[in-house]
Copies of this chain bind each other. A is one copy, B any other.
Amino acid sequence: MLLQSELLDFFNETRAQSELICSFLETEDYVVQPIVDVSPPKWHLGHTTWFFEEFVLKPYKSDYQLFDDHSAYVFNSYYESVGEKVIRTDRGNLSRPTVAWVYKYRNYVSKALKDFIESEELSPEILEVIEIGCHHEKQHQELLYTDIKYILGNNPLFPKYNDQFEENPIQDIPQEWIAVEKGNYDIGHNNTDFCYDNELGRHTVYLADYQISNKLVTNKEYIEFIEAGGYKDVLLWHAEGWDWVNTNQISAPSYWHNIDGDWHQFTLQGLQKLILDAPLSHISYYEAFAFAQWKGLRLPTEQEWEVANSKFNWGSRWEWTESAYSPYPGYSKAPGALGEYNGKFMVNQKVLRGGSVATSNKHTRPTYRNFFHAPLRWQFTGIRLAK
């Protein structure tokens, strides 16, 4: 856990980063919600602020005056035990509060929180909630990038976000297999740094011999799968993956456009020719699985990934694993509203390991467990194979 003095820096840096990300937007870009999984950027800015107000200032700072009585209502997300919430599909229908209002709200709460940290010695309990709030905001920073990409990339004008944002780092190494020997291994968070509750409960697992790739699957390899008819061969797919392909007429990763026979990709730098050696991105779990089937290989489990992680480079793509998102042995939810954080999603989701080009500084680690529903593609998801 961070010391109180470190926490102030961490808080300041976190808050500034969210606003830096949004500094490249037009006012209109903050407002829309093209699909339910994407939230309007102004909602992210307001929600991360509401978190500090609701869980730190309101309960712990005795003389704190709410910025506005309605804000909680609009910026609550899924914390059902804390009052009524705005239905998730409605976020993009709300023109008010305005973006200007949201920035005022941020400033008001940031200032109140800084004063709070600077003015008195805070209990470990309060420090912990503030630290959670910063990590919570860092999670939303990743969503800001991916939601902005969705908003711009699904606009028929294909507007650029920022010329400097590089999302396709090439791994210029030959593909090799890293072998791990069978045996008992310990899994889960094991130091005093911050982690989420779903990483806790360090525990032993037995793994059989396995091999895992040192390198992510590239666009070039995936084009081979497409050209070999991968999207048309039912035997490569899960039954519900096959339904998904057909219902949605999927024939390529998200953001790919075939223009006059050449593959292009919408990126945060705008529409570009596809870089063949770059790591594949924006594929669903169904596609990751079908690709592995086609190769005669498989996806690693999250335990295999964690045990081997120090032997390969990771961090540019969230990597789909074969593991369903379940509680670790001995997991129990934190009491109260913060306890809603992770446990309630532990059904029908797949674990992803790693991190991505959109992940905030200091926001991932070898034990971090990300999770999404199998069909989702708007994150920077990728594939690392195992056998």
Binding site for B on A (CB under 8 A): 26-34, 70, 73-74, 78, 80-81, 86, 90, 92-99, 151-152, 154-157, 159, 182, 184, 203-206, 208, 210, 234-235, 237-242, 285-286, 289, 298, 322-324, 326-327, 329-330, 333, 339-340, 344-348, 350, 374
Contacts and interface: CB of A to CB of B under 8 A. Distances in A.
Interface centre among A74, A98, A234, A324 (most CB of B within 10 A): A324
Q: How many monomers of this chain does the complex have?
A: 4
B157 A345 contact: no
B326 A326 contact: no
A322 B330 CA distance: 13
Nearest to A286: B347
A112 to B, nearest CB: 22
A347 B208 contact: no
Nearest to A238: B347
A332 to B, nearest CB: 9
A31 B34 contact: no
A10 to B, nearest CB: 29
B32 A95 contact: yes
A348 B326 contact: no
A323 B322 contact: no
B81 A234 contact: yes
Given A92-B93, A95-B151, A206 B234 contact: no
A95 to B, nearest CB: 4
B345 A238 contact: yes
Given A32-B31, A155-B94, A322-B327, A205 B203 contact: no
B28 A99 contact: yes
B344 A96 contact: no
A262 to B, nearest CB: 21
Contact of A340 (B70, B93, B235, B241): B235
A203 B97 CA distance: 53
Contacts of A93: 32-34, 92, 151, 154-155
A351 to B, nearest CB: 10
A81 B322 CA distance: 25
Contacts of A155: 93-96
Contacts of A156: 70, 73-74, 86, 94
Contact of A95 (B28, B78, B94): B28
Given A96-B155, A204-B206, A78 B239 contact: yes
A26 B98 contact: yes
